[in-house]
C-alpha cells in the first residue's frame, strides 16, 4: 500500500447503508459526468448551505436551502472518488489533493457560517472548526505514517457530521434558539466546549496508541533487518573459514 493511495478505513454508523446507496447511484450517472464535476458540485452545495445559514437570521425558511446544500455537498463529495474508482480512472495523488482540499474548504465555509447564523455562536462554531481541523490533520498524519485513511472516529464520519448539520439548525429553529454572535458563553457554548475537550482527549489517546503500534512495528522491522544483515555476514564468512 503506497502513501499516495492509503487503505480506506470507515466504520461509521451509516457506512454500510451509504456504500449501498453509492453503488446503486454510480452505474446510473451519465458518462459525461466526471469525478471533477462531482467535486465542483460538492463545493457549490457547501457555498449554498453557508449562504442559507447566514440568511436564516431573517427567516428560517432558508433551512430548506441549508438541507439541500448539505445534501448536494454529500452527493458531490461522496461520489467523486467512488466514480473514479468505479470507472478505473483513479489518479491517487491528484485526487487526494483536490478532493481533500475541497473538503476542507467546504466544511470551513459551512462551520464558520454556523457562527453567523442564529443557531450557534461564533465561539461554538470556531470550537467545532478547531476540532474538525485537528481530526482532519491527524487523518492525514495517519495516511502518511500508517497508510490508512481513517474516515470515521467513534462511529462518526463525514456523513453523520453532515446529518448533524441539518438536524441541529432545524431543531434549534423549532425550539426558538437564537444564539448571539459573541456575547459571553451560553449554555450551548459550555456543552460544545465540554464535548470538544473530550474529543481532543480521545484524539490524543488515539495518537498515543498509534505511536506505540508504530514503534513496535519499527522495532520488529529493525530487528529483522539486523538479523538479515548478520545472516549475510555469516554467509560470506563461512566459505572463507572452510578454505
pLDDT tens digit sequence for 109-133:
999 999 999 999 999 999 999 999 9
Reduced to 3 states, what is the DSSP secondary structure of residue 12? coil
Query: How far is the C-alpha of 98 from the C-alpha of 112, rounded, in Å?
Result: 21
Task: Convert the pLDDT of each residue in 128-151 to its tens digit.
Answer: 999 999 999 999 898 888 888 778
pLDDT of residue 242: 58
Q: Using N-to-C axis directions, what is the helix angle for 122-145 and 187-241, rounded to 10°?
A: 10
pLDDT of residue 4: 52
Are 96 and 39 a contacting pair, CB within 8 Å? no
9 backbone dihedrals φ, ψ, rounded to 5°: -130, 105
| Interacting residues of 28 by C-beta distance below 8 A, sequence separation 6+ | none
| Interacting residues of 76 by C-beta distance below 8 A, sequence separation 6+ | 38, 39, 40, 41, 42, 43, 44, 45
pLDDT of residue 152: 84
Residues of the chain below pLDDT 70: 1-5, 234-235, 237-243
DSSP element (H, E) containing 190: helix 187-241
Q: Are strands 156-157 and 7-9 parallel, antiparallel or unpaired?
A: unpaired
Are 198 and 156 a contacting pair, CB within 8 Å? no
Domains and CATH numbers, the chain: 7-182 (1.20.120.1760)
pLDDT of residue 166: 96
Which cell numbers hold the place of 87? 470507472
pLDDT of residue 12: 84
DSSP 61: G
- Across the chain, the runs of DSSP E, i.e. the strands, are 7-9, 148-150, 152-153, 156-157
Mean of all residue pLDDT scores within the chain: 89
Which cell numbers hold the place of 33? 459526468
pLDDT of residue 3: 44
Nearest to 164, CA basis, from 120, 221, 197: 120
> What does R_g of the chain's alpha carbons equal in angstroms?
23
Amino acid at each position: 500500500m503506497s502513501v499516495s493511495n492509503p487503505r480506506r478505513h470507515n466504520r461509521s454508523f451509516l457506512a454500510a447503508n451509504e456504500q449501498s446507496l453509492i453503488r446503486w447511484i454510480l452505474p446510473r450517472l451519465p458518462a459525461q459526468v466526471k469525478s471533477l464535476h462531482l467535486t465542483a458540485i460538492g463545493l457549490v452545495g457547501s457555498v449554498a448551505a453557508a449562504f442559507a445559514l447566514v440568511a436564516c437570521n431573517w427567516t428560517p425558511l432558508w433551512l430548506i436551502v441549508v438541507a439541500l446544500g448539505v445534501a448536494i455537498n454529500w452527493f458531490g463529495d461522496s461520489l467523486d472518488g467512488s466514480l473514479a474508482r468505479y470507472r478505473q480512472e483513479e489518479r491517487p495523488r491528484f485526487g487526494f489533493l483536490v478532493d481533500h482540499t475541497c473538503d476542507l474548504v467546504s466544511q470551513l465555509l459551512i462551520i464558520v457560517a454556523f457562527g453567523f447564523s442564529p443557531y450557534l455562536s461564533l465561539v461554538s462554531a470556531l470550537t467545532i472548526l478547531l476540532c474538525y481541523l485537528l481530526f482532519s490533520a491527524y487523518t492525514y498524519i495517519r495516511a502518511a505514517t500508517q497508510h490508512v485513511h481513517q474516515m470515521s472516529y467513534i462511529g462518526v464520519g463525514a456523513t453523520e457530521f453532515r446529518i448533524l448539520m441539518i438536524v441541529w439548525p432545524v431543531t434549534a429553529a423549532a425550539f426558538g434558539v437564537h444564539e448571539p454572535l459573541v456575547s459571553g458563553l451560553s449554555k450551548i457554548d459550555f456543552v460544545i466546549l465540554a464535548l470538544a475537550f473530550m474529543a481532543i482527549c480521545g484524539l490524543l489517546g488515539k495518537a498515543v496508541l498509534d505511536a506505540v503500534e508504530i514503534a513496535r512495528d519499527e522495532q520488529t522491522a529493525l530487528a529483522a533487518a539486523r538479523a538479515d544483515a548478520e545472516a549475510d555476514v555469516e554467509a560470506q564468512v563461512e566459505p572463507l573459514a572452510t578454505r
